[in-house]
Amino acid sequence: MKESLQHLKVIAVGKSDTLHQICTRKKHSKVHQYTRTMFLSDEGTVQLDSSLRIGDVLELHSNSLDALHRSIHSASGPEGYIISEEARSYFNDPFTGSNQDLLISNVFSKLLGRLETRKRIENWLRQLHVLRYSRIRRVLRDDDAQVAQELVAVFASNSYKTDISSLTNEQAIQIMNLIDTILIQGFSTNFPIENYDTFIHTAQQCLIRLSEASGHFPDALVLQNVELVTSTPVTEGGFADVYRGRHTNYKGHTAEVALKVLKLRTTSYFSLTTEEIQGREKKFYKEALTWQYLDHENITVFYGIDRNTFPGKQAMVSQWMRHGTILDYMKKNSPFSQHAISCLSDIAAGLEYLHSHNVVHGDLCGRNILIDKRGRACLTDFGLTSFIESDTALKSTRRDGSPNWTAPELFEPEQFNLPFQRTAASDVYAYACVCYEIWTGGSPPFHNLWPETAVMLKVIAGARPGQPNDILGELMPNELWNIIQLCWTMQPQERLDSKVLSATIKDLHRQNLTADLIPSRASSSASGSMNDLNGDVQPNSDSSSSESEINSDLEADAESESIPMIRQSPAPPPPLPRRLKGKLRQVSIRDYVTFGPIKWGADPEGEFLAIIEEMYRNDSVKRGAMDEPDSLKKNNPKYVKLVFGSLAQANNFAMTWAVHRYQPYKRVKATLYPAV
């Protein structure tokens, strides 16, 4: 067919879009490569050769080149001819286009050639005025998946981190713009990437390195039309100042914003070395480029970077929170304990979101939690350290961070055989400290100890403060206190996972909407072993039944008859107001606790009640402090299934039993199976 087409001469008179429709039919897919079209102008007839033989470039830009070819045919006037000649000249030049990589000797060379080609094709498509800009973006997005394969090859090379220094600022910005486009818009699923989460994480790390090396951000992050509302900072700190401003977007919509400006100045009282300045700048880039890709209702909204308001400086622009930090909000809404569960639920949801995106907050504390206009708690400050210090913050002299919220493994990593690294587990520890801080109205754990070394020694020794009261003397609810104890355990691997933590706090919040929590006036002693406090404790190895058998028995026959308990749970709360109906979580049969191993007899209900009654008789647990199950079901000779009305009740029982179990039942586990 190829030879016959080369000798076939046909003249078609008609509109260019008619010829385009003929050439794009599947059976005529090769015709357009050997077709010439003409247009008439005042100067006469001009031939338009649309055959662009461009080798392997077609493979990576197939969608955009096809769009370019169709647009050339559909263009009216001389633009199509001019752009066709430019394209032919560009792709046939050995020193440009796909051959540009010959001039650059690092792993980014091929990628830079592809980016140059992509940029030229986009400009040609826009000059032809055939496709709308939104359509052009979709076409380019389809090709981004193929270009992303080049990024995968770059990341697979161990030299890409060092090769960044050989790039010019212009080249670095080109690559940053591509990575930013992929991270924001994604790409077609026709070309899936293996280990997508790893790819996204590595792409973000590469973006941060490029930004630090070039001193620039991706073009899409740079904002225009930002102006100050206040000439003086609303918040001052050792690392940065925050100003109040206003931003007008391209649609003319105006929003109040906060401008966070890095402090790099040196005065007679304050001096920074070159290394310290570079360190602060790196943290600034890292925080901005981490924050940019976070999108959740409990994360403060990040708008972009302002370069114009402060000469010679860059500022992070974020959502303005008129209520300030949660510490400020607590002072205006005292006692704050009545709002605590709601805010803690927001904070846990934000933390779960961060961890699900492989982001560790690293400095979770009250001053880094803001309250939006709806009274919702939102996390902010996403570097390893906080850039803003409040007057009440305790300054750290070692590895940054706030000691009152710092996990023990960060103080002495060698003691735990771990490297110094902030993790999701250290965030969960900090969350427990935030719970304590919020309930007490702003006093973090060990707030009365100074210097910070004293706090460090207490934490490393395993000491934790007791169950706190609010400013009116109201004791923290046992349900919340038990959760805190699971979050600040000594060993990181024993702390609650943020997903389970968030589900548990949310369930506690829902229950708090319908009935006030009545905390026990007796303090909850944590004298029991903390090694088994995690809700994922497995049955003992001496049990004759395997874990899979137990799970199979517990999952089977969800509708089988349950044994009613003698002492039922308190009466349900009164009917909900109409506005709350449907918003509360429905009770699930999967919110249960397995209890065992015990050689249960013919009356497991009576035996279980005898065990619990002995706990009360020993005064290790006060009546009413521990939630009891609604029903009990025996599915296995050594284990019973305790069914609860909610996740919070099941969690309360499991944690209380883990702390207060007694001989001869020290080896009996209460394992929580939440419906999350």
- Looking up residue 435, the CATH number of its domain turns out to be 1.10.510.10
Nearest to 233 by CA among 260, 257, 211, 253: 260
One domain for residues 418 and 466 = yes
What's the domain count of the chain? 4
One domain for residues 64 and 155 = yes
Determine the pLDDT at residue 502.
Answer: 93
Query: Is residue 532 assigned to a domain?
Result: no
Q: What tokens does 72 get?
A: 């050339």
What would the mean pLDDT of 346-370 be, rounded to a whole number?
92
Determine the pLDDT at residue 54.
Answer: 42
* Cβ-based neighbour number of residue 133 at 10 Å: 10
Determine the pLDDT at residue 459.
Answer: 95
Domain end call among 303, 320, 337: 320
**Residue 243 pLDDT more than 70?**
yes
CB contact at 8 A, 672 and 593: yes
If you ran DSSP here, which 8-state letter would residue 470 be given? -
**Residue 427 pLDDT more than 60?**
yes
Query: Is residue 531 assigned to a domain?
Result: no
Query: Is residue 226 assigned to a domain?
Result: yes
Helix axes 62-74, 133-156, angle to 10 degrees: 150
One domain for residues 363 and 279 = no
Query: Is residue 537 assigned to a domain?
Result: no
One domain for residues 315 and 347 = no
* pLDDT tens sequence across 524-565: 333 333 333 333 333 333 333 333 443 444 344 333 333 334
Determine the pLDDT at residue 544.
Answer: 36
One domain for residues 315 and 338 = no
What would the mean pLDDT of 473-482 be, rounded to a whole number?
91
- Looking up residue 616, the CATH number of its domain turns out to be 3.30.70
Alpha-carbon distance of 358 to 553, in angstroms, equals: 35
Domain end call among 467, 489, 524: 524
Please, what is the Cα angle at 442 between 656 and 346, to 5 degrees? Answer: 65
One domain for residues 311 and 332 = no
CB contact at 8 A, 82 and 71: no
Instruction: Name beta bridge partners: 634.
Output: 640
**Residue 39 pLDDT more than 50?**
no
Query: Is residue 491 assigned to a domain?
Result: yes
One domain for residues 395 and 512 = yes
Q: What share of the chain has pLDDT > 70, as a percent?
A: 71
Determine the pLDDT at residue 604.
Answer: 84
Query: Is residue 314 assigned to a domain?
Result: yes
Considering only residues 148 and 163, tell me which one the structure prediction assigns the higher pLDDT: 163
**Residue 213 pLDDT more than 60?**
yes
Among 2-11, 352-361, 537-546, which is the least confidently predicted range? 537-546
Determine the pLDDT at residue 18.
Answer: 55
- Looking up residue 237, the CATH number of its domain turns out to be 3.30.200.20
> pTM of the entire structure?
0.67
One domain for residues 519 and 422 = yes
What would the mean pLDDT of 248-265 be, rounded to a whole number?
89
Mean pLDDT score of the chain: 75
**Residue 491 pLDDT more than 90?**
yes
Q: Which long-range contacts (CB under 8 A, 24 or more apart) does 20-23 make?
A: 20/70, 20/73, 20/74, 23/73
Alpha-carbon distance of 533 to 18, in angstroms, equals: 74
**Residue 351 pLDDT more than 60?**
yes
One domain for residues 203 and 247 = no
CB contact at 8 A, 130 and 177: no
One domain for residues 209 and 224 = no
Phi and psi at 246, nearest 5°, equal: -140, 135
Please, what is the Cα angle at 654 between 651 and 656, to 5 degrees? Answer: 105
Alpha-carbon distance of 567 to 244, in angstroms, equals: 58
241 is in which domain, residue-wise? 217-320
Amino acid (one-letter) located at 519: P
One domain for residues 415 and 496 = yes
Amino acid (one-letter) located at 251: K
Considering only residues 77 and 496, tell me which one the structure prediction assigns the higher pLDDT: 496
* pLDDT tens sequence across 382-405: 765 432 333 333 333 336 667 899
Determine the pLDDT at residue 569.
Answer: 36
**Residue 20 pLDDT more than 70?**
no
Query: Is residue 542 assigned to a domain?
Result: no
Domain end call among 490, 524, 558: 524
Query: Is residue 541 assigned to a domain?
Result: no
* pLDDT tens sequence across 645-660: 777 788 888 888 877 8
**Residue 75 pLDDT more than 80?**
no
Alpha-carbon distance of 242 to 306, in angstroms, equals: 13
What would the mean pLDDT of 611-617 be, rounded to a whole number?
84
One domain for residues 205 and 335 = no
Alpha-carbon distance of 395 to 417, in angstroms, equals: 26
